[in-house]
Amino acid sequence: MMRAVIFQGAGRLAPADVPRPAAGAGELLLRLRGCGLCGSDIAKLADPAARAPAVLGHEVVGDVVEAGEGAGGFAVGDRVVAAHHVPCGECHYCRRDSESMCRAFKESNLDPGGFAEFVRVPAANVRSATFRVPEHLTDEEASFVEPLACCLRAVERARVQPGDTAVVVGLGSIGCLFVPLLARAGAAVVGVDQQPDRVEGGRARGIDARVPDEADARVSALSAGRGADHVIITGGATPALEWAVRVVRDGGSIHAFAGGPGDALPVALETLYHRELTVTTTYSSSPGTLARAFWLIAAGKVDVEGLVSHRLPLERLAEGVELMRRRQALKVYVTP
């Protein structure tokens, strides 16, 4: 048996003893070193339609304690980072950059999930979503491979070009990952958050961070009055979209990186059409973006240090959820 935190539906989390999985052919069994708590975990907790019981958590770093035959060159003792979803790589969706819409994608998962003492990594995940962590990286740094990959997929889809002006709405840990990726793509980046402490935190990371009222003028100054080429919305739901429509340039693009409440978009079809606005979205990552994100972190090209604000043991996961809900934590990292 082993300890895990079970999501029981209706927002409830409870630690429990569950059977310990074992590695089959091509699979790995990890002893958890740590797992990041993701905004999507929080969203699932609040979603009445979410599958329960389940073990959440998918930003997993662990030590290999069992390696099945032919497990991709991994061996017992390796420290690895592993992501939860993998596409088939061969279907119509996969061949058109819609990997996260592949029917195999959501079916795949770590067993039982990241908030458990031991995690089985299925063979497909071992092949295309597991990376050996180099010695110079900390566990916490490695745990950002999956979230960074999701952001990278969004930036690649938005087709950012050198000389562009980009705005990131929301300076949580995801917003703080977007800024350096957009800057690497050649954009001048402004970060926006309504919370003064997040603006301050962003500035401490070297981000040109503003509250919304100040951001308008800054974007205008950077773009010769045109407005932003790209607005990436990482939170703030429909009011953020209204604001985005105001600051984006004619012909610019808005990327919705987060879901949220609201059945209709607060933008007129006439506006979308006459201003030639593009709305893009991305859900999750892909094997390609995971590999590139892993490289960016391993090579020190994207600095993730200082993003973890709270560290909690598995048994206190519910506290971490509360901290994230109240927007008091930038990122919660859970250890066994």
Cβ-in-10-Å burial (0-12, 13-18, 19+) of 88 comes to middle
Report if residue 114 touches Zn ion, rule: CB under 5 A. Answer: no
Which CB atom, from 72 or from 89, has the smaller least distance to Zn ion? 89
Q: Which amino acid makes up residue 229?
A: D
DSSP symbol at 304: -
Which residues between 247 and 286 bind Zn ion (CB under 5 A)? none
Which CB atom, from 94 or from 190, has the smaller least distance to Zn ion? 94
Which residues between 145 and 174 bind Zn ion (CB under 5 A)? 147
CB of 85 to Zn ion, least distance (A): 10
Name every residue whose Cβ is closer than 8 Å to that of residue 39 and which is 6 or more positions away in sequence. Answer: 172, 174, 235, 258, 324
Instruction: Return d(Cα 296, Cα 303) in angstroms, integer.
Output: 9
Which CB atom, from 91 or from 272, has the smaller least distance to Zn ion? 91
Report if residue 240 touches Zn ion, rule: CB under 5 A. Answer: no
CB of 105 to Zn ion, least distance (A): 7
Report if residue 91 touches Zn ion, rule: CB under 5 A. Answer: yes
Which CB atom, from 41 or from 229, has the smaller least distance to Zn ion? 41
Among 102, 199, 209, 240, binds Zn ion (CB under 5 A): 102
Give, to the nearest 10 degrees, the angle between helix 317-325 and helix 39-46. Answer: 90
Report if residue 87 touches Zn ion, rule: CB under 5 A. Answer: yes
Residue 130 bridge partners (DSSP): 82
Among the candidate windows 84-92, 110-118, 218-226, 281-289, which touches Zn ion by CB under 5 A?
Answer: 84-92
CB of 282 to Zn ion, least distance (A): 13
Among 94, 148, 166, 207, binds Zn ion (CB under 5 A): 94
Instruction: Return d(Cα 111, Cα 122) in angstroms, integer.
Output: 8
Q: Which amino acid makes up residue 99?
A: E
Asked if residues 254 and 277 have their Cβ atoms less than 8 Å apart, the reply is: yes
Asked if residues 87 and 55 have their Cβ atoms less than 8 Å apart, the reply is: no
Q: Which two tokens stand for residue 77?
A: 């003792």
CB of 136 to Zn ion, least distance (A): 23
Which CB atom, from 252 or from 287, has the smaller least distance to Zn ion? 287
- Vertex 244: Cα angle to 325 and 283 (nearest 5): 55
Among 16, 88, 101, 318, binds Zn ion (CB under 5 A): 88
CB of 307 to Zn ion, least distance (A): 13
Which CB atom, from 212 or from 287, has the smaller least distance to Zn ion? 287
* Alpha-carbon distances of 177 from 116, 150, 171, 196, rounded to whole Å: 26, 10, 9, 19
Question: Rounded to the nearest 5°, which phi and psi values hold at 45?
Answer: -60, -35
Beta strands per DSSP E along 145-186: 165-169
Asked if residues 176 and 169 have their Cβ atoms less than 8 Å apart, the reply is: no
Q: Which two tokens stand for residue 153?
A: 């997929």
Name every residue whose Cβ is closer than 8 Å to that of residue 164 and which is 6 or more positions away in sequence. Answer: 185, 186, 187, 188, 229, 230
Asked if residues 331 and 147 have their Cβ atoms less than 8 Å apart, the reply is: no
Which residues between 5 and 64 bind Zn ion (CB under 5 A)? 38
Asked if residues 284 and 154 have their Cβ atoms less than 8 Å apart, the reply is: no
CB of 229 to Zn ion, least distance (A): 26
CB of 86 to Zn ion, least distance (A): 9
Which residues between 121 and 150 bind Zn ion (CB under 5 A)? 147
Give the total of residues touching Zn ion (CB under 5 A). Answer: 7
Among the candidate windows 8-16, 77-85, 98-106, 107-115, which touches Zn ion by CB under 5 A?
Answer: 98-106
Which CB atom, from 54 or from 88, has the smaller least distance to Zn ion? 88
Which CB atom, from 74 or from 144, has the smaller least distance to Zn ion? 144
Which CB atom, from 41 or from 164, has the smaller least distance to Zn ion? 41
Report if residue 101 touches Zn ion, rule: CB under 5 A. Answer: no
Positions that interact with Zn ion (CB under 5 A): 38, 87-88, 91, 94, 102, 147
